[in-house]
Each structure stands twice: as C-alpha cells, then as structure tokens.
Amino acid sequence: MSADHPIYEVFRQERRGRPFEHAGSVAAPDAEFAEAWAREQYGRRGESVALWLVPRDAIRTVDEWADEFGLKYRRVDGYSIKERLKEARERASARAG
C-alpha cells in the first residue's frame, strides 16, 4: 500500500508437487494484509494451489561465487577434446595404414 511498508515476496505453486516460483511482491503493513492482497492478486482465479509469502528482509541472497582456482576440471566446459581426438584418430589411421 505504501512504500514505507514491508515488502513480502510472493512465490506461487501451480500444482501440488510443482516448485514454488517467484511471482511478484506485495507491500503491506503486516502479514495479514500481505496475505489478503496476495490471495487477491495471485490466487483469485484458482491459478495457484499455494503461496509462500516471505518478508524481503528475510531473504538471504547468495550470488557471488568464488572461482579463484578455475576449477573447470569438474565441469564439462573444462574439457576441450576436439584437437586431441583429431590427433588420436590420425595416429590410429596411420598405424592401421
């Protein structure tokens, strides 16, 4: 309702067993108002089976990932086998020839 009110992030679940996905947010003086508005804005057409309302302040965001050692050997993009494969095939055919 007002910019001074706490903000609740709204996550909605479309069907039982599906993940809760971030849908939007509501600003409300308290959790009860937040629930009333979230029900109205994200559930009134039966588009959600459940909602999670989370105070924005309660969310701890983790988005910085240290990769000092370039640990690429643990991932598929850490391997470029094209050149080596080509050479291996050439050697194999030379041996066979």
Partner 1 sequence: MAAAEIPHDEQALLAYVQAGGQVEATDRLPEDYRSKLIKFIEMHGNSELMGVLPEREWIQRAPTLQRKLALTAKVQDEVGHAQLIYRVVEDLGKPREQCLADLVNGKAKFHNVFHYPTRTWGDVGVIAWLVDAAAIISQKALLKCSYAPYARIMKKICWEESFHILHGRDVVLALVTGTPEQFELVQEAVNRWWGPLMQFHGTPIPKEDDPMFHWRIKSQGNEEARQQFLEGYVPQVLELGLELPDPKLRRNENGVWEYSEPDWDELKHVVTGHGPCTEERLAFRRRFLEQETWVRDIVLAT
Residue (77 or 83) nearer to partner 1, CB: 77
Task: Identify the three-state secondary structure at position 41.
Answer: helix
The distance of closest approach from Cβ of residue 46 to partner 1 in the complex, given in angstroms and rounded to an integer, is 12
Give CA–CA dist 73/1, Å, rounded.
50
The four Cα atoms 65, 70, 76, 81 give a dihedral, to 10 degrees, of 160
Cβ pair 35, 53 in contact under 8 A: yes
Residue (75 or 95) nearer to partner 1, CB: 75
The distance of closest approach from Cβ of residue 89 to partner 1 in the complex, given in angstroms and rounded to an integer, is 31
The distance of closest approach from Cβ of residue 61 to partner 1 in the complex, given in angstroms and rounded to an integer, is 7
User: What one-character DSSP code corresponds to residue 79?
Assistant: -
The amino acid occupying position 53 is L
Give CA–CA dist 35/42, Å, rounded.
10
Within 34-63, the residues that bind partner 1 by CB under 8 A are: 37, 40-42, 44-45, 47, 61, 63
Binding residues (CB under 8 A) for partner 1: these are 1-3, 7, 22-27, 29-30, 33, 37, 40-42, 44-45, 47, 61, 63-65, 67, 75
